[in-house]
Amino acid sequence: MQGNQISIQQVYGILRKLAKTNKWQTLYAQSKEGCVNLFINIAAYTDLQVAFLQYCSFYNSLHTDIYMDEVSDIVLENEIYEDAYQTYKNKVKKNKHKMTTPQEQDRRKAKKKKETTVSNTHVVFSQNPIK
Amino acid sequence: MTKETEKKIDTAVEEAKVVTEKKEVDAEIQKKVDEVTTQKVRAMFKDNETMALTEAAIQNNEIVFEVEGKTYRVRKANYQEKQDANKYRMKIYIDLLRDKDCLLEKDLRKLYKDRGINIEDIDKQIMELSNQQQKLLFDLGKAIKDNKSKVELDKYKEEVVILMQSINGLSIEKQQLLEFSLENRVMMEVYSYLIWCVSEINIGGNKWQRIWATQTEFLSTTPDKLLTEVTKNATVLITEDLASNQSV
């Protein structure tokens, strides 16, 4: 019986190939807009479905970076390039986060909160509710 | 017959021999090319088939297929079946634990160590190679980001591939060494149980029933086309249940 089975790695390899196809990238983008359902079930996703969504998201992110000229489309040439670029991107992001001190992070959060409050207030009053 | 004519005949015979040999070599090459092409086409069809199966599995949580004019399906295990599989797993685990000939993974590792095979060393090697691989991937990723030449990128890629092959080789070696551990045997039993649970035959309309009424019936089936198809398709759908059942 063992000879007939497809290995777990094979299944995940296929999930990845499927997620990369134009068909599934389009469907994934549409599903994010709430236009289509990807699966027969709309809740209680299986692990297989969750893994598939993670791959879809991975390729969606690569396509976005290519569109934003962050990276050349050569990245899509093979899975090793794709993984390498993602590894580099994640590490750079992690290092950037590490480099900021906790005080700096608090200061940024406070600044962001203040900006949001001001802009919200600005929006409220710019509509001039008292006419 | 003059000497000149004899010489001409000899030359013609030699040339004919060369032509025949060349034809034979060409035919042999063509045969090899055909074999390789056939293998590639077969692999492509197999890949496409597996892709279609996986696509059906993620979209519908079931795979419907036909064998000798009858319709069958394998579907995702439901909550009750997963609970039953878990109970079965515990039962098998305890049964095997009572069997003194069956070794736990940790005992098997110890036994191998006494025989001069250290699985911990294999684990360490895998870890070291994985770290090297991560560093190389980072460098390759940076090179991609910096628009380095294709030649440079491919150098990195080749190094990554070599590391991947080494890691895979070690992983397979470790897997083979631990194949007969109690944990692995439990997983194989649960795998078989789940296949039996989720394999159904269409009995008209939207009605389905188990192909094999009992697990004993399933286990005593002689391998045939149906069993091959069922096993192949079910694996895609029960992968997650197997993965979550690996640790006891």
Domain extents in chain A: 2-78
Is B55 a domain residue?
no
Rounded Cα–Cα distance for residues B246 and B248 (Å): 6
Nearest to A15 among B54, B157, B244 (CB): B54
pLDDT, one tens digit per residue, over A26-45 is 999 999 888 889 999 888 88
Residues B158 and B223 in one domain: no
Place of tokens 């394998």: B74
Residues of A in contact with B136 (CB under 8 A): 84
Residues B71 and B193 in one domain: yes
Identify residue B20 by its one-letter amino acid code: T
Residues B113 and B173 in one domain: yes
Q: Would the CB atoms of B54 and A72 count as touching at under 8 Å?
A: no
ipTM over 0.90: no
- Residue A63, pLDDT above cutoff 60: yes
* Cβ within 8 Å of A, B 87-126: none
Residues B169 and B109 in one domain: yes
Residues B248 and B185 in one domain: yes
Q: Would the CB atoms of A91 and B138 count as touching at under 8 Å?
A: yes
- Residue A20, pLDDT above cutoff 80: yes
pLDDT of res. A124: 41
What separation, in Å, do the N-terminal and C-terminal C-alpha atoms of chain A show?
79
Residues B165 and B190 in one domain: no
Nearest to B157 among A75, A80, A91 (CB): A80
Give the domain-ending residue among B155, B179, B203: B179
* Domain with B41 in it: 1-45
Residues of A in contact with B55 (CB under 8 A): 18
Is B54 a domain residue?
no
Residues B111 and B211 in one domain: no
Token reading at A101 = 């001190």
Is B132 a domain residue?
yes
CB-neighbour burial class of residue B139 (10 A; exposed 0-12, middle 13-18, buried 19+) = middle
Residues B175 and B114 in one domain: yes
Residues B96 and B190 in one domain: yes
Please state the domain count of chain B: 3
Report the Cα B139 to chain-centroid distance in Å: 31
Longest dimension (CA), chain A: 79
Rounded Cα–Cα distance for residues A110 and A3 (Å): 60
- Residue B123, pLDDT above cutoff 90: yes
* CA distances (Å), origin A31, targets A15, A24, A39, B56: 18, 10, 10, 18
Residues B213 and B166 in one domain: no
Rounded Cα–Cα distance for residues B246 and B182 (Å): 11
Of A48, A95, A110, the closest CA to residue B142 belongs to A95
